[in-house]
Structure 1
Amino acid sequence: MPNDRGEHKDSPLRTAPSVRFTLRQKQNGEDPLEFEDEGLREVYSPFWSDLPHSDIFCCISPDILHQLHKGVFKDHFVKWCSDIVGETTIDDCFRAMSTHPELRHFKKGISSVSQWTGKEHKEMQKVYLGVLAGAVPAKVLTAARGFLDFVYYAQYQSHTIETLHRMQESLDLFHANKDAFVDLSIRDHFNIPKLHSMRHYITSIQSLGSVDGLNSEGPEQLHIDYVKKGYRASNKNDYVPQMAKWLQHQEAIDLRTVYLRWCAELPPHDETDSSDKDVTDEEDD
């Protein structure tokens, strides 16, 4: 049910045949309860209804970048913790963290950063549990540990029964302690779609493979290569044609680079004339 998306419990999954049946009932003038309960709309012939060998509800796969890094972590969890102790305290904790060659030191805190990337979200997650230690109640810290463990297990490139079991334990730990935010008057509910999506990660891994292969973080890089760089190369006035021309030039350069690399890998050219070789062979005969 839409109001139960924040609950840590299993619900029956939707299927294409059942939804089509509900839509036909509504189209025929009936008033099925499932139409309102499932939040359907009067689109009686959805694009997926006649697709063979497919199930639209199996096409919705996890997305670590938007659901976990940017979604639950940055847009929700960080905000909840900042509301508990204040942004100033969080910034002070970030500044007080010890430096390490493999960890980013947020020497100015995080409240002044206006735009975040997936890389920065990951760098925050590496030290965030240490930032919260001693600053938030124990139950909030435990919820943070459960959530962050879940995020790290979700990023595994391969899984075993053991890793999936630990992933489920991490999710259970988070949900067992998330009520701390309600007790502190930070949240009234957890009816958050991106939070609910975490319940489907394990079954998705079992059916589709590791989430690392479904992540949109790779294609997001194309925004930089094909949009942002092209815009910066324009004069910012009527920039779309300029961006298209810039991309054409880049593709031409890339093709030439590939051709030159191919030429460099060719074996050395034999300058011996083939006709002379034929004459020598005849004399030998």
Structure 2
Amino acid sequence: MLEPLFENASIDLKIDGKRIWFYPRISTVICDWPEACTFSLTYKSSNSNYPCHFCLVSKDNLANTCLRKSQAVLRNKENTKKYYDNDTTKEASLEPVYNYFWDIPDLNIYDATVSDRMHHLDLGLYHYQIEFTKELLSKSSINKFNRRIAEIPRHPGLKIFAGGLQSIARLTANEFRDLMKVIVFVVDNLHNKDLSEVYVKWNEMYLLSRLETFKESDLKIFQKAIDDWANLFIKLFQNISGLKFPKLHSWKYHIIDTIRKYGAINGYTTETYESLHKTYVKIPYRLSNKRDVETQIMKMIRRRAIILQKQMEKKYKTSVPLNYTSKLFDFKFSEASEFCEKQKNNSNLNEKMRKAVIMDTDELSNYQSDSGTCYAHTLLVTQIVFAEIVIFQKYRYDIESISI
């Protein structure tokens, strides 16, 4: 499958019974930071000398919001391969292994390993922000924090934390997003104005990250929102943790360039794949007896697919024509008024039929609209026969003679 990548050749691939011809290319690698380090063969430690897989920024500058370009030289095949050839990979926090992706044309593996929003923000920086907030607050404020969360009333589509926020280690990305909706009000007046403001700035930045398209003006607004949040985040929490976070650095200095090159973040997020992983792997695994797990999971997935397929099938009811036993009378719609007047005294009609044709002219508008088109209030007419009308449309083509 990957051979044509090296040969710059095309392949034929059969998908859904159709043969498709194309040139395969690796555009982006969507992953969390540890996996990005695996692809780029950089050290998986924020304490390494150069922990960012995008650039050669020193670990001491990870929380620096005023970096010069010379302090964050971008990694590429050329400058990283020099360290490998000179046997000095340790100086650039590189594994002493030849990188497989160096030989693939038109690919810079260091910027192709894009930041995944779910791991980068929801389960990453936002997780840290809540964790540091709890460390910043006093014990009485933490109790008030948990009580406020527990007292939030139920609302459709909103996760309720009835016991407060005792532990955030096992929270999912969806649960962190639910916290974003309410936590601005939870932290209000618990510490200082900056604490409330950092969550406001976070929400502004997060909403911008979910835009479907970006213009250059949008990117400038987005960069300012990132800077405003990052400055407050560092101001509040640097004394607590030191903030040696590659994710903080890459979000501030690399995400805008990534959007310029690869498009909106929505196009390279793992949210869809992670939700499928939960449905098709985690849940079936819990339902298994933990023996011969793969076989059991495949059986459950196959059954689920069959059930979903049956539910998606459209079932059409076969219409059964009515059998008419007799024809009482016929008339034209244009003569409906005369017909009704005549049938009011028809002795062959029973009482209900007679009431059906007794209609004042004032009620006529209830039974017709659109310039007299009759709608479905008919009670007595049992069969409508339309005359066969043939419509001819005449087209005239004028062909000019062209001399050659």
- State the TM-score, normalizing by the size of structure 2: 0.56
Instruction: Map 1:126-141; keep pairs closer than 5 Å.
Output: 126-141=181-196
CA deviations on 1:65-103 (whole Å, 9 max, x unpaired) are 1110010111x1001101111442321232355666675
Deviation at 1:191, TM superposition (A): 1.3
> How does the TM-score come out when normalised to structure 1?
0.77
Q: How many Å separate the matches in 1 of 2:151 and 2:306?
A: 49
Rounded Cα–Cα distance in structure 1 between residues aligned with 2:226 and 2:171: 25
2:116 maps to what in 1? 63
Q: Partner amino acid for 2:73? A: P
SS in 1 for 2:113: coil
- Deviation string 1:97-116 (CA, Å, 9 cap, x unpaired) is 56666755534322156632
- Residue 271 (structure 2) aligned to one of 203, 217, 229: 217
Bigger CA radius of gyration = 2
Aligned to 2:296: 242
Q: Distance in 1 between matches of 2:290 and 2:305?
A: 21
Name the residue aligned to 2:103.
50
d(CA) in 1 for partners of 2:115, 2:108: 16
CA, structure 1 residues 201+242, in 2 after alignment: closer, same or farther (shift >3 Å)?
same
Residues 257, 142 of structure 1: alpha-carbon distance in 2 compared, 3 angstrom cutoff: closer
Counterpart amino acid of residue 181 in structure 1: F
Partner of 1:88: 143
Are 1:7 and 2:61 counterparts? no
Range with greater deviation from structure 2 (151-160 or 99-108): 99-108
Which of the pair has the greater relative contact order for Cα pairs under 8 Å at 6+ separation?
1
Please tell me whether the aligned partners of residues 139 and 180 of structure 1 are also in contact (alpha carbons under 8 angstroms): yes
Cα distance in 2 for partners of 1:207, 1:17 equals 20
1:179 and 2:232 are equivalent in the alignment: no
- Local SS of the residue matching 1:179: helix
The one-character-per-residue Cα deviations of 1:176-218 (angstroms, maximum 9, x if unpaired) are 2222324xx422x111122222122211111111101111010
Distance 1:102 1:250 in 2: 25
Q: What is residue 231 of structure 1 aligned with on the other side?
A: 285
Cα distance in 1 for partners of 2:154, 2:295 equals: 46
Deviations 1:230-280 (A, max 9, x none): 22443344433222222233345556666x44xx68xx9xxxxxxxxxxxx
In structure 1, what is the equivalent of residue 93 of structure 2? 39
Q: What amino acid is the match of 2:196? A: L
Structure 2 gap segments, 5+ residues each: 1-56, 320-404
Distance apart, 1:164 and its partner CA: 1.9
C-alpha separation in 2, matches of 1:171 and 1:239: 44
Is residue 83–residue 92 contact of structure 2 (8 Å, CA) maintained in 1? no
Correspondence for 1:149 = 204
Match of residue 259 from structure 2: 205
Q: Deviations over 1:11-68 (max 9, x none)?
A: 2211111111221122xxxx5xxx334201211x211121112111121112111110
Amino acid at match of 2:293: Y
Query: How many residue pairs were aligned?
Result: 252
Partner of residue 280, structure 1:
none
Tell me the distance in 2 between the aligned counterparts of 1:113 and 1:13.
34
- After the TM superposition, which residues 9-28 of structure 1 pair with which residues of structure 2 at under 5 Å, given as runs? 9=67, 10=69, 11-26=72-87
Judged with a 3 Å threshold, the aligned counterparts in structure 2 of structure 1 residues 226 and 166 are, in CA distance, closer, same or farther, namely same
CA contact (8 A) 1:154 1:201 kept: no
Inter-partner Cα distance in structure 2 for 1:113 and 1:175: 22
More helix, by proportion: 1
Q: Larger % of strand: which?
A: 2
Question: Residues 37, 151 of structure 1: CA spacing in aligned structure 2 closer, same or farther, 3 A cutoff?
Answer: farther
Equivalent position SS for 1:61:
strand
- Compared with structure 1, are the counterparts of its residues 161 and 59 closer, same or farther at alpha carbon in structure 2 (3 Å cutoff)? same
**Unaligned runs of at least 5 residues, structure 1:** 269-285
- Contact kept, 8 Å, 2:237 with 2:243, in 1: the verdict is no
Deviation at 1:136, TM superposition (A): 2.0
